[in-house]
Amino acid sequence: MEAMKKTTSITVQDVPVTIMNVDQRDYISLTDMAKARTDAGRAADVIKNWLRARSTLEFLGTWEVMYNPNFKVVEFDHFKSEAGLHTFTLSAKEWIEKTNAVGIYVQAGRYGGTYAHKDIAFEFGSAISPVFKLYLLKEYQRLKDAENDRLKLEWSAKRFLSKNNYLIHTDAVKNYVLPQSNYTKNTEWLAYADEADLLNVALFGCTAKAWREANPTLAKNSNIRDYASIAELTVLSNLETHNAELIKSRMEKKERFEALRQIAQYQLRVLAEAEKIKELPTLEDKS
């Protein structure tokens, strides 16, 4: 499965530095950082010179041993034994291929260059300039604080969306589904669960039980809706209202499901297209 990547950027002493979030871990562009010391054309040379130092290899090797169970220690020892020799050279690509390292990776195409996990990137910053490293830490922390503020807002929005139309939906089940069903007083909760799963399948493509079975670790303290996006929860809130009205109209469950599924697909598509438009570069970005 291809790694999930999200790109952002910070400016450190007038140098734009790209940060790539790969599967929830931040990797910082060493190529961008190297430009603080030299021109863009020689950035790769700065990284190579840093990689060939024994102290660098010992740091990288220790990091990999701590966080990478697939790290090839024998190959690492070979590199370390040659470090310091005038003939010894090492590229990021060779380090990755020979040792199966994950702390550094090379990105091709857009946002191309050599990236390193933030722990390693900060160490590289020390080699470039202690002052640059301090400013890098400051700007990185500023980015993380802003992201945390956004996550808090998203959490509040999710709580609102999760509860917004819940009462409307449960009221329809109580007044229109239960009177027409064979549920007893002790099994009435099944009616609410069935209708909730109708929405789950229409939106997510699976029931709450199926999600729990597929995600046993996550399911210990959460449910499928806890991992829904803002867009998905917006659509779910709308589906609750639609389903309540369809229940009142006495539409059969099978027909309701098909109608809700089509609504979910349409609304998710609209929201996804709107998000793409927001991400398009503006005239100011191009200038």
pLDDT at 228: 84
pLDDT at 154: 67
Helix H segments across 100-129? Answer: 118-128
Q: Give, to the nearest 10 degrees, the angle between helix 230-248 and helix 188-204.
A: 130
* Residue carrying the six token digits 């493509």: 205
131-156 residues labelled b (16+ CB within 10 A) or e (exposed): ebbebbeebbeeeeeeeeeeeeeeee
Question: Which residues of the chain are modeled with pLDDT < 50?
Answer: 1-2, 282-287
- From residue 21, how far is each of 5, 33, 91, 230, 256 by CA, in Å? 5, 17, 23, 20, 40
Provide the token pair at 10.
Answer: 């910070």
Q: Point out which residues pair with 17 in neighbouring strands.
A: 10
pLDDT at 281: 55
d(CA 133, CA 37): 12
pLDDT at 283: 43
pLDDT at 2: 47
pLDDT at 224: 87
Radius of gyration of the chain (CA): 26
pLDDT at 229: 83
- Where does residue 169 fall: left (phi above 0), alpha (psi -120 to 50 degrees), or beta otherwise? alpha
